[in-house]
Structure 1
Amino acid sequence: MKRNLFILLTILICSVTACRSGQKKSEKMENKKGTLLKIETSMGDITVKLYDETPKHRDNFIKLAEAGTYEGTLFHRVIKEFMIQAGDPDSKNAPKGKMLGSGDVGYTLPAEFVYPKYFHKKGALCAARQGDDVNPKKESSGCQFYIVTGKVYNDSTLLGMEQQMNEGKLTSAFNALAQKYMKEIYKMRKANDQDGLYDLQEKLYAQAEAEAAKQPDFHFTPEQMKAYTTVGGTPHLDNQYTVFGEVVDGMDVVDKIQRVKTDRSDRPEEDVKIIKVVVVE
């Protein structure tokens, strides 16, 4: 059976997006396993532990905290049963209705995936980033972060996710290969060379099948299954965004924040502000 020619044409217009002083003290904290920081907010305190296995994100978060970068910033994007996001420098004193989420500190961080050890369970502290279409290396924002709230899943739903992820291997491999032939594809489209497009599609599809066959089937670990069926989380974000810490105290505050009323842009109608972030001695 011939595959639809429009598979190639679709990738041309579709893209995947997601979610965009104290030096001696910092050096001292690097040697402490599981660095603790307290995020003081207008709704209460949240204590997080930063993982040593993600040193670039750990050190950067400490640096920004000690520099006061987060003071006065808002939880500018809040989605119940998903996550609460903060860290946009442009959110300081932002007037009501202002679109937020594009602010940064002028740099990104390379992804530090420690997967499947660290995943998107409820309470996970993760780095926000721009979508794959402009950020194929999945580099993290230099300052914006989110805390997972998520929801609880049952076993059958997770098994269904496993199946979808395994079936998606072929599509991902095909799209990655097709991206390398964009100029040729555009040229054939302009010339209305449908035979050429079809032949290229068949060639890339065969290569994608071979690539997908090399990849092992995806399965959630027992730890993931337990967490996602008890405390909950956001499993579809696993291995896509860097998880660099977790909440160890104040999850009740996180839950209060996720329940606030928000506008159409998911910004809380009443500001939820970060007062300061401090290293816990």
Structure 2
Amino acid sequence: MRHGILFIIFLFCSQILLAQTHKIAFKTDYGTIKVVLYDFTPQHRDLMVKSIRDSIYQGALFNRIIENFVVQGGEHDIDIAKREAADPKGNKPRLAGEFDARAFHKIGALGQGRDDNPEKASFLNQIYFVVGKELSEEDLAKLEKQKGITFTAAQRSEYLKNGGLPRLDGDYTVFGEIYEGLEVIMAISRFKTSKDDFPLSPVRFSVSVIE
């Protein structure tokens, strides 16, 4: 019975991926990562497509790498803070968060970075891939209590089988996931870094839309 339920969940998730309208490719010196963007987070999907057309992520850097956590790229927190502090009008452009139970922090999920703003709004030019770690039933139960949430059957199955970062759910927007090339981002997540999580050698990437 349990295997039957998991099979149904797998089929449901597969149909979700097939139904999405945009796919993109992150090209690195270490391989290509192919990502599907979720139609159920449309503002973040459209922001990414626009950013690609505006060449925001051409020759960008994965500039924050934490094994068992995330590989982050685009504009760094430090640079965003400096730029905004220097703006005479005090502008802090953000995109309102989009949260959907189907978009969660599984391994390979693509999310949008942010600061600690209470609205949970996203930076415009910073993304991250979830590397994550193994999880137990106890881990999920503790998080449900702490965050006042209940993980769905699909979330629970994925987290227990493959791991992830469920503690970020509901706080950071996930808007896509890797469907090919997960091994590339996992390899990058193990690169040596400085004490500030900068990779010791530049890790560049460019993003294009898959037509």
CA distance in 2, matches of 1:100, 1:226: 38
1:78 aligns with 2:91: no
Match of 1:66 among 30, 34, 53: 53
User: Could you tell me how far 1:101 is from its partner in structure 2?
Assistant: 6.3
Radius of gyration: which is bigger? 1
Which structure 2 residues correspond to residues 1-281 of structure 1 after superposition, within 5 A?
33-88=20-75, 102=81, 107-114=93-100, 116-131=101-116, 135-166=117-148, 218-274=149-205, 276-281=206-211
User: Could you tell me how far 1:247 is from its partner in structure 2?
Assistant: 0.7
Unaligned stretches of 5+ residues in structure 2? 1-18, 85-91
8 Å CA contact 1:76, 1:101 repeated in 2: no
8 Å CA contact 1:104, 1:141 repeated in 2: no
Greater percentage in helix: 1
8 Å CA contact 1:51, 1:245 repeated in 2: yes
CA distance in 1, matches of 2:130, 2:56: 22
CA distance in 1, matches of 2:50, 2:196: 30
User: Could you tell me how far 1:113 is from its partner in structure 2?
Assistant: 1.0
2:16 equivalent in structure 1: none
Change in 2 beyond 3 A, CA 1:146/1:66: same
User: Could you tell me how far 1:104 is from its partner in structure 2?
Assistant: 7.4
Instruction: Give the match's secondary structure for 1:158.
Output: helix
TM-score (norm 1): 0.62
The Cα offsets for residues 194-244 of structure 1, whole Å up to 9 and x where unpaired, read as xxxxxxxxxxxxxxxxxxxxxxxx321111111111111001000001111
* Structure 1 segments of 4+ aligned residues over 4 angstroms from their partners: 99-106
Question: Superposition RMSD on alpha carbons, in Å?
Answer: 2.1
CA distance in 1, matches of 2:70, 2:162: 14
2:12 equivalent in structure 1: none
Instruction: Give the match's secondary structure for 1:39.
Output: strand
User: Could you tell me how far 1:107 is from its partner in structure 2?
Assistant: 2.6
The Cα offsets for residues 94-143 of structure 1, whole Å up to 9 and x where unpaired, read as xxxxx6664779732111111x2211111111010011xxx111110001
TM-score (norm 2): 0.82
CA distance in 2, matches of 1:141, 1:159: 30
Q: Which amino acid aligns with 1:107?
A: P
User: Could you tell me how far 1:270 is from its partner in structure 2?
Assistant: 0.8
Q: Which amino acid aligns with 1:65?
A: I
